[in-house]
Structure 1
Amino acid sequence: MDEQLDHAPCGFLTLSMQGKILSMNQTLLNLLGYETNQLIGENINLILTVPARMFYQLYFVPLIKAERPVEEMYISLEAHNSEEIPVLINAVYRSNHDSIDCIIVPIQKRSEFENELLIAKKRTESALAAKRKANQDLEDTLDELEVKQAELIDLNEENMKFKIDTEKELRLARNIQETSLTEPIVQNEIVIDAYYKASSELSGDMYGFYQISPEKYGIMILDVMGHGISSALITMSLQSLFQRLILKGNKPAEIFEELDHHLQGLFQSNEETWHYCTAIYLFVDTNQQTVEYINAGHPPGIWQDHEGVQFELPYTNPPLGSFSGQTYKAERFSYNKGGRLLLYTDGVMDPFESHKLSSLFKKHPFDEFSLFKGKLLQLIKDEENGYHKNDDKCFILIDLIGRLS
């Protein structure tokens, strides 16, 4: 790195497409309090705060993979002394080097100045409100208070009735949502079961698995951003659509493009209500003994074959609803003597603790299906007090029974 760039008045960082730090200028090293040999070759997660890691995966990576520039993205870095440093990042993908160049500008002073302005504004507004209140006539205030008190009594009665009616409607909606969930499938070649727990009356998680033909199966799990009524309504509209598409025998890419188009259509005129959705879909052919899948921004699925060999089903596409006109490409793998698959939503396990799921697979490779499901539920229960205790939880467990040959 040349002398001017190394001591430029802003940070400079080069990353691999896998997030590995390839180079970094001295300005950024000084800001973070590291030496060069401490960071080169490490993953960028080392210098990101925990929220910034999630933001990096959900927004930064999809933009770069779509070969779009990242412009003035606000994230927080974590210095060697654990200090949080707010920065603006601009980045671009260089195809000739298959790397990502990043310019990083600290904005600590700007944030402090903005906070001071906000505090001053609130103090001024409070002072003006107090002055207006002090100038009001006491008798007028008492008369108004009597009127408001009567209105409040009427309003409380209406609110109580509305609350009771709403709770009834929510219970009915939850029953409808749970009724739409598919029953376990138990066949000679495949066993599928699921677990589903909403954090509130309604959930943003949804799954479905369907027998398309005697030897073909479609398996979908998705997670709409947030939870509650709005997420549940979107979830139900997506569930109705993917069920119809799967049972028609549409290809995985066609299903995802239809779902993405549906989400884009829901929010094209109102960005404030925009929701994205992560999803993973499996198309299983037990005759050909193949699994074709698409992962759109969802936590990676876990596959372990009959010999205990594991690999993940990582996401290679951005979440549904992220970009208009997005195309999707399916991945495929084969199995001969069978294996076990796990698909899950992010409420099940902290993404940085997902290795615990893989470890469970390795420790119990030959457990009977229901026994292994019980151990998986116990692990989730043990972990939920520390992570996303109030988040929706959903997983699908699949056993593929291959033919010995």
Structure 2
Amino acid sequence: MDQQLNYAPCGFLTLSEEGTILAVNHTLLKILDYEPEQVIGQHINALLTIPAKLFYQLYFVPLLQLEQHIEEMYISLETNNGEEIPVLVNAVQRTDQEAAVTECVVIPMRKRNEYENELLIARNEVEEALLAKQKANAELENALRTLNEKQEELLAINKENQQFRSNTKRELELARKIQENSLTEPMMTDHIQIESYYKASSDLSGDLYGFYQIDEHRYGLIILDVMGHGISSALVTMSLHPLFQRLMTQGLSPDKVMKELDYHLHSLFQNDEEARHYCTAICLIIDTDLQRIEYVNAGHPPALWQDAKGTQSTLDTTAPPIGMFEEAVFQSSTLHYTHGGRLLLYTDGVMDPTASCYLVHLLKDHPVLPITELKNKILSSLQAEPKNDDECFILIDVK
């Protein structure tokens, strides 16, 4: 690294394609209070706060792979003594000796708060000077001059904020598309038909589902709801998605899938109770050859099963929510059926607080209605009662 870049008035680092730090300039080392040997060869996660690790994996990396560059992304770094440093990052990906590397410019944002504090002090000085106008004309003039200077600085900061909001809105839109594209499409085979619905209460959702054909007769399904709404819940769901997709397509039993998801959440937050999230979920395997449904309900609203004769039963809670208790035990339960049936999985945003049994009645009143039409009837009920919660459900016809 040349001398000018090493001592530039901003941070600079180079990452490998896997996120390993290959080079870092003296400026960034000084900001973070690290020696070169403490940083070079480490993964970038070593410099990131816990939320920033999630943001890096779920948004920074996909956006970089998609566009090969990033402009003004807001993220937080952690110093050697644990202090959080907000920064803006510009990054570009290039090929160096047949290997992809990412070069990042890092600009600390600590001055913004200092400017706002100085502006507040200046305003107070103006107010005091106005009260003592006859005795302190000279002080008043100096305060007014300072105020004008700070107002100009505030205009510049507001301009930066507008750009930041615009960039954030664009990044949230990209995140929303990524989240929606991860959802599985409706499925129809000789043995099963599956329809689903998903609507976020804000830009991003804490609800997620997936259903997969494991082999000729087995199908894996999962629906989950992370505590809360918005970006933090969506980050957790997206960190869980590739894990449950891999586990379920391998044909693992529901209890083993839930155990792995529970371990993932505990590992994600470790001892950080303030950041900890838990998640309710139902995971099940439908075997159309053995006419058997094996499931685990981890604190989730009970699924509704209606057999070919119209008899209903529920897949009630069998375990606590995942991520809530250390060493939680997840045991599968089994439901056997003959001549097929209909199953409804849903999150709590679909439940109507004024008529909690309406889903039961909808299934009971329309036993032979095609599930595409039954889906529309459920949506009509939801639209009649606006909610501020994510809405998600899966309808399954087992033949």
Q: TM-score scaled to structure 2, two decimals?
A: 0.64
Q: How many residues get paired?
A: 267
Q: CA deviation at 1:333?
A: 0.7
Residue matched to 1:327: 329
The answer to whether the Cα contact below 8 Å between 2:195 and 2:371 also exists between their aligned partners in 1 is no
Residue matched to 1:304: 306
Q: Work out whether 1:285 is the aligned partner of 2:287.
A: yes
Identity of aligned residues (%): 54
Q: CA deviation at 1:352?
A: 6.7
Residue matched to 2:391: 393
Residue matched to 1:178: 180
**Partner AA of 1:284 in structure 2:** I
Deviations 1:147-193 (A, max 9, x none): 33112101111111111111111111111111111111101111011
| Superposition RMSD in Å | 1.8
Q: Which runs of structure 2 are paired with 1:4-403 in the superposition (5 Å)?
A: 136-138=128-130, 139=140, 141-350=143-352, 353-383=355-385, 385=386, 389-401=387-399
Where structure 2 has 5 or more consecutive residues not aligned to the other structure, the ranges are 1-120, 131-139
The answer to whether the Cα contact below 8 Å between 2:294 and 2:334 also exists between their aligned partners in 1 is yes
The answer to whether the Cα contact below 8 Å between 2:126 and 2:143 also exists between their aligned partners in 1 is no
The answer to whether the Cα contact below 8 Å between 1:299 and 1:351 also exists between their aligned partners in 2 is no
Q: CA deviation at 1:350?
A: 3.5
**Partner AA of 2:165 in structure 1:** K
Q: Give secondary structure in 2 for the equivalent of 1:272.
A: coil
The answer to whether the Cα contact below 8 Å between 1:211 and 1:217 also exists between their aligned partners in 2 is yes
Aligned-partner Cα distance in 1 for 2:331–2:145: 69
Residue matched to 2:115: none
Aligned-partner Cα distance in 2 for 1:195–1:310: 22
Q: CA deviation at 1:229?
A: 1.2
Q: CA deviation at 1:369?
A: 2.0
Aligned-partner Cα distance in 2 for 1:228–1:399: 32
Aligned-partner Cα distance in 1 for 2:357–2:324: 28
Q: Structure 1 stretch 139-148 or stretch 273-282: which is displaced more?
A: 139-148
* CA distance 1:321–1:133, shift in 2 (3 Å): farther
Where structure 1 has 5 or more consecutive residues not aligned to the other structure, the ranges are 1-128
Aligned-partner Cα distance in 1 for 2:354–2:225: 18
Q: CA deviation at 1:141?
A: 4.6
Q: TM-score scaled to structure 1, two decimals?
A: 0.63
Residue matched to 1:27: none
**Partner AA of 2:208 in structure 1:** M
**Partner AA of 1:333 in structure 2:** L
Aligned-partner Cα distance in 1 for 2:230–2:197: 19
Q: Give secondary structure in 1 for the equivalent of 2:214.
A: strand
Deviations 1:234-291 (A, max 9, x none): 1001011100110111111111011001101111131111111010011110100100
Q: Give secondary structure in 1 for the equivalent of 2:190.
A: coil
